[in-house]
Chains A and B, each alone.
Chain A
């Protein structure tokens, strides 16, 4: 692996929701590391805990129902979960930024784009007047927003979806964060705009050295921009490795199933593949592997004990009893 210290270390993160029906373990022991400039994709079905993982990193889990009940989140060596809310506020603004799914509600409809971008720049760089304006224009131009200087006075509803997403990304990146959390940033965009946007994101990321956590359920996007992939199921990471490793040698049956679900244009009129069964009820997780009821490679032990995380290759791990060596480790 790399020599430099990782930017972000997440250890055994647990975020639970306490509802009348019981405790929903939305995130149940997630661990990963992320280096500067790296892109990690979190993939999985709806409700697998991807978004809650992200919200936990910035401590924005909806309270009072949701609570981070355990684990550590180390950003540049500092544990974010131990910080007071005032300290956390400084970290959020300076080091972490977010881009969300819906670019329409990501922008305030009552303020001009210029106001919204300059507020962030002013807060973080203390600029005023002409230098401020220059920085704002630079931030917008970096994301290739045409005629940036005239568009400063426009409101968000005067922009197209793709442009809006660029503006929100410009806002997110304008404070030069170390970590960008992008929660399905392209879901609301046209396919053509998606590619364009991702290309742009990749470019800006490379030039600024930002680490990105990308939440998606689109493997096409993963293949296009992620360095590493973490596949989540029922609040845990079931497989993690470099994008190549995971695509070439998917080791968890769930990953294989997900990859099979991708429609293949090459094959003629093939039926769409689905994963049988339902995602598990997070409030009533089975004792063993939560994927076992849907798993084609189910073994007796799967129903009894959660599988250990075993290395498949260097930097590639999976949590499944079917992976060679799993039983030896148990």
Chain B
């Protein structure tokens, strides 16, 4: 019974496997260059429509760039941005959360107020300001997202740490003459890992949406990169005539975020039950955190179905 239930659910599994596959092998899979188009081939509709061209299965945009190729390369951007941003934010947040939770007192108060400030930053506004001050670049997008993301990790990990440090094995490690650094890294951190996995997964969807939003607003990955958000923005003016330019990358984004969130839910439910006892707090709070993403950053997603209606 349990063995069967532990299998990865098919829908998110397939979508994510496809995503990773296309991201890794983008150069082999994409039929055309993602950034260079033939202006004479512009605004060709997808293959199933009249005037469709088998050379461009999902059509072309206003510069004659192949939409399929751009979506394929776009998956690479989404994936890399979310992996690095979550890696950076997760590392910083976990470290601060562990220290705050374990030390307590003034350290905890200062770090948690800092976290509160971080959580109350108006996401999009800060992103726009930060990127406007510097140049829009791949690196800056990642930094901005990481900056907005670390408090989520810090707060969650601190909560976990508070619970774990009350366990006897921590007291015994103190009696055994262990240093705080040792106790944090050897005794507390391994017990936080399951929670960390769950929050990280749930953040992937949020980051993809945030990156899309930033790119859509023109403060994300700079053009002509084939970021999904950029593509949606690109096709904004053509929703009535060439809806596929916005709709298809939007669809890719929706599917990806949906799959990632489903995967996160599944992961949350199926982590080792022994470890899950300690992760109970995370289980209760993580969905709330995840739901913030879609509501705040729905602009590009909403743009996509609207484009579909236009066609």
Contacts and interface: CB of A to CB of B under 8 A. Distances in A.
B174 A120 contact: no
Interface stretch (A108-116, A293-301, A308-316): A108-116
B174 A92 contact: yes
Contacts of A73: none
Interface string B182-208: 000011001101000000000000000
B169 interface: yes
A108 B278 CA distance: 11
B176 interface: yes
A326 to B, nearest CB: 38
Contacts of A58: 175
B39 interface: no
B178 interface: yes
Contact of A89 (B179, B190, B191, B274): B179
A93 B177 contact: yes
Q: Which of A94, A97, A110, A120 has the most chain B CB atoms inside 10 A of its CB?
A: A110
Contacts of B105: 64
Interface stretch (A3-11, A20-28, A98-106, A204-212): A98-106
B172 interface: yes
Given A106-B169, A109-B191, A111-B190, A155 B274 contact: yes
A100 B186 contact: no
B274 A109 contact: yes
A107 B274 CA distance: 13
A293 B209 CA distance: 69
B178 A93 contact: yes
B289 interface: no
Given A100-B168, A119-B186, A109 B175 contact: no
B169 A96 contact: no
- Counting chain B CB atoms within 10 Å of each CB, which of A58, A92, A100, A108 scores highest? A108
A175 interface: yes
A168 interface: yes
A97 B275 contact: no
Contact of A60 (B175, B178, B191, B278): B175
Interface in B127-149: none
A327 interface: no
Nearest to A181: B175
Contacts of B120: none
B168 A110 contact: no
A110 B192 CA distance: 9
Contacts of B174: 60, 92
A108 B169 contact: yes
B40 interface: no
Residue among B179, B193, B274 with the highest chain A CB neighbour number at 10 A: B274
The 4 closest A-B pairs by CB, nearest first: A93-B177, A110-B190, A105-B168, A106-B168
Given A60-B175, A108-B191, A109-B275, 14 more contacts: A89-B179, A92-B174, A92-B176, A98-B171, A100-B172, A106-B168, A108-B190, A110-B191, A110-B193, A111-B190, A123-B176, A123-B177, A123-B178, A168-B172
23 contacts: A60-B171, A60-B175, A89-B177, A89-B178, A89-B179, A90-B177, A92-B174, A92-B175, A92-B177, A93-B176, A93-B177, A94-B177, A98-B171, A98-B172, A98-B175, A100-B171, A108-B191, A109-B274, A110-B191, A111-B190, A123-B176, A171-B172, A175-B176
